[in-house]
Structure 1
């Protein structure tokens, strides 16, 4: 009865897979969480035993939207990091090369077919997008329909088996085993790096902060009698600003060359540690009830200045003319939808979203100098979106033969490259191509989940056969494909690249595209310093790994 209902109304199977799959994926055991995509796949594989199938066109459309949105959101950071973030980017190269070598060894030793090899890559590297690009590559091999469906089913089954073991391995490796190998206390090391970047020891993102990083306080001038506003601000690296001065009960216009007098009541805003350091030189702190909120305006600004790329927050403030930088503070830095510490030593990239706070006139002036304001909008430019997907489909028809191996990008690879290009154009010309972050996230989440549900339903009958054929070999291979690149990156990053341990471990989590791993790392370190390394390798691996799907299919087909 249920099987007949699912076969005649496959949309029921789709939304059942999504609902139950995301419910299963939400459960957490320690730092391990399957996630909605893997949960959806497991449920779809079970429901696929009933014979329920989704139309191939729906699967293709869903994947095209997902992969385009993935490229679109990652485009600005990808191009920003591909040149200057070479130290971290090298770790993504280590990941790509080592997993390809390991896959080819597995193909030779275990006699894996092209589908199983691609699924092993997707699962061990925890990169679901490989399923789509590899499936398209298999469809172009010229096999009959039954053989093509069997190989595509093997991708999904191998992915589902190796994903769980790859996920557990990368989480435990980065948060537990690697610190033991390096003989470091990860929490103490992260605290040291936090202070090195200019943090003052206050707790960071993910914790309950002891005090906000940016504050406003009121002082009665004593020891600072006779000093000018500019002198005081300059002494403290322009990390504080005298916003208001009240003399004999009346407000005095604040000018950089204004000399402060004993008894003046001044409102000082800026970084908390700078104000704490300046307090003895200013005078006694007094009640500020008569002053308004000074850090009241907040603007999200996309950094587009070419000369600002690679500079730290402190360097950018030092190089800016005082009259332009005065009163503008960076409260947060968002990169690839992930918040990284906005500390003086944090390096900024073009494409970063900077949250500026301060007085209205100050932050508007800062926004004009740094880039463009990220206007909150709910509107999606469907002309731009549709054109981008069409261009991606056109690029997907490109292909050729390299060393006797037939390679074609397919719709997935083409839309990924198109998304990169259109996202980069959008970052340079913000008046065109609106795709709000929430809309892009829906495209990615729903597109990938629908695609995964479709391939899981079609793979159901063949899943058990593959598991019986290889047994524990696939999980073991998945574990090795995490440990070998991880150990290589750990050695190269420590011995040759001289990367700080928290950033190095974050980069290893990023090269595996593992969100659970970076979440576990942030929990262990107690601050968000690992995220700095994570965002760079995540941006690169998230693009390069899906493009390896057709490569693995071509090479495995040649060897097997």
Structure 2
């Protein structure tokens, strides 16, 4: 009865896979969480035993939208990190080369077919997009329909097995075993790096979030009498601003040359550490509710200035004209949907989203000099989106033979490259190509989950056969393909690149495209310094790994 219903109405199987899959994926066992995509795949494999199938056209459309949105959102950061982020980006190259070599060794030793080989790469690297690009490549091999379906099913099965064990391995390696191998206390190292970047106070991450980095205080001027506003602000590196001054009940016009007098009531805003340090040198803190507060305006600005790329927050403030930078503060830095510490020593990259706070006029002035304000729009430019996907499909038809190996990009690889290009163009010319972050996230999440559900349903009957054939070999290989590149990157990053432990471990989590690993790592470190390394390798690996799908299929077909 149920099987007949699912076969006659496969859309029920799709949404059942999504709902149950994301429910299963939400459960956490310590630092381990499967996530919605893997959960959807597991449920789809089970429901696939009923014979329910989704249209191949729906599968292709869903994957094209997902992979284009992936390239679109990652494009600015990918290009921004090609140059200055080479030390971290090198670890992504280590990851790709190592897993390719390991997959080819396993193909020769175990006589794997191209589908199983591609699935091992996708699962061990925890990069679901490889499933799509490899599936397309298999579809272009000119095999019979039955053989093509079998090989594509093997991708999904090998992925699901190796993903689970690879996920556990990368989480435990980065958060538990690697600090022991480096002989460091990760929490102490993260605190040291935090201080090096300009953070203050031995506070846990939760305490930092509870105590805002940007505050305002009201003082009765005493020790600062005779100082001009400009002199007081410059004494603390521009990290505080005198926003209002009241003298004898009247508000004074704020000018850099204004001399503070004893008894003045002054509203001072800025970074918490600077306010705490300056308090004794200003006067006595008082309670005065009729004054305003620091956060008069809060806007998100996309950094587009090329000359600012690679500067720290402190360097940006130092090179800015004192009057242009006055009263503008960077409250947060968002990179690839991850928030990194907005500390004086934090390096800024083109494409970062900077959250600026301050008075309305000050924030508007700062935003105009740094990039463009993210407009609060929910409208998607479907002309831009449609042209991007069409161009990706055209690029995907390109292919050729390299060293006797036939390689074709396919729709997945083509849409990924066009997404990169269109995302980069959007970052340079923000008035065109609106694709709000929420809309892009929906395209990525729903597109990938729908694609995974479709291939999982079609792979259902063949999944058990592959597991029976190889048994424990697939989980073992999945663990090995995480450990080898991870340990290699750990050695190279420490011995030759001289990376700090928190950023190095974050970069290893990023080269694996593993969100659960960085979440566990941040929890152990006690602050978000590992995210600095994570965002760079994540950007590079997230783009390059999907392009390896056709490469693995071509090489495995020649060697297997």
TM-score bin, normalised by smaller chain: over 0.9
* TM-score, length-scaled by structure 1: 0.99
Alignment partners' CA distance in 2, 1:317 and 1:113: 57
User: Structure 2 matches for 1:207-222, cutoff 5 A?
Assistant: 209-222=209-222
SS in 2 for 1:209: helix
SS in 1 for 2:287: coil
User: Structure 2 matches for 1:440-451, cutoff 5 A?
Assistant: 440-451=440-451
SS in 2 for 1:41: helix
SS in 1 for 2:417: helix
Residue aligning to 1:354: 354
Alignment partners' CA distance in 2, 1:205 and 1:422: 36
Alignment partners' CA distance in 2, 1:550 and 1:170: 25
Alignment partners' CA distance in 1, 2:29 and 2:144: 43
CA deviations over 1:357-397 (Å, ceiling 9, x no partner): 00000000000000000011110111110000000000000
The answer (yes or no) to whether the contact 1:18–1:449 under 8 Å persists in 2 is yes
Residue aligning to 2:409: 409
CA deviations over 1:247-304 (Å, ceiling 9, x no partner): 1111111111111111111111000100111111111111131201232210100000
Residue aligning to 2:113: 113
Asked if 1:28 is matched to 2:28, the reply is yes
Deviation at 1:9, TM superposition (A): 0.9
Alignment partners' CA distance in 1, 2:119 and 2:208: 41
User: Structure 2 matches for 1:413-492, cutoff 5 A?
Assistant: 413-492=413-492
Alignment partners' CA distance in 1, 2:552 and 2:54: 26
The answer (yes or no) to whether the contact 2:270–2:294 under 8 Å persists in 1 is no
Residue aligning to 2:103: 103
CA deviations over 1:126-162 (Å, ceiling 9, x no partner): 0000000000000111111111111100000000010
Residue aligning to 2:8: 8
Alignment partners' CA distance in 1, 2:482 and 2:296: 47
CA deviations over 1:457-516 (Å, ceiling 9, x no partner): 110111011001111111011001100010011011111111111010000000000000
**Change in 2 beyond 3 A, CA 1:203/1:440:** farther
Alignment partners' CA distance in 2, 1:361 and 1:6: 59
Alignment partners' CA distance in 1, 2:16 and 2:512: 29
SS in 2 for 1:84: coil
CA deviations over 1:292-324 (Å, ceiling 9, x no partner): 123221010000011100000000000000000
Asked if 1:292 is matched to 2:292, the reply is yes
Deviation at 1:225, TM superposition (A): 1.4
Instruction: Spell out structure 1 runs of 4+ moving beyond 6 A.
Output: none
Deviates more, 1:389-398 or 1:289-298: 289-298
CA deviations over 1:431-461 (Å, ceiling 9, x no partner): 1111111111110011000000000011011
Asked if 1:528 is matched to 2:528, the reply is yes
Alignment partners' CA distance in 2, 1:191 and 1:418: 41
Alignment partners' CA distance in 2, 1:45 and 1:338: 32
Alignment partners' CA distance in 1, 2:437 and 2:265: 44
Deviation at 1:57, TM superposition (A): 0.3
Alignment partners' CA distance in 1, 2:208 and 2:460: 46
Unaligned 5+ segments in structure 2 are: none
SS in 2 for 1:215: strand
CA deviations over 1:522-547 (Å, ceiling 9, x no partner): 11111100000000000000000000
Residue aligning to 2:174: 174
Deviation at 1:210, TM superposition (A): 4.7
Alignment partners' CA distance in 2, 1:294 and 1:123: 48
Alignment partners' CA distance in 2, 1:381 and 1:309: 28
Residue aligning to 2:59: 59
Deviates more, 1:448-457 or 1:210-219: 210-219
SS in 1 for 2:61: helix
Residue aligning to 1:302: 302
User: Structure 2 matches for 1:328-343, cutoff 5 A?
Assistant: 328-343=328-343
Alignment partners' CA distance in 2, 1:250 and 1:144: 87
SS in 2 for 1:323: helix
Asked if 1:133 is matched to 2:107, the reply is no
The answer (yes or no) to whether the contact 1:194–1:201 under 8 Å persists in 2 is no
**Change in 2 beyond 3 A, CA 1:335/1:145:** same
**Change in 2 beyond 3 A, CA 1:377/1:535:** same
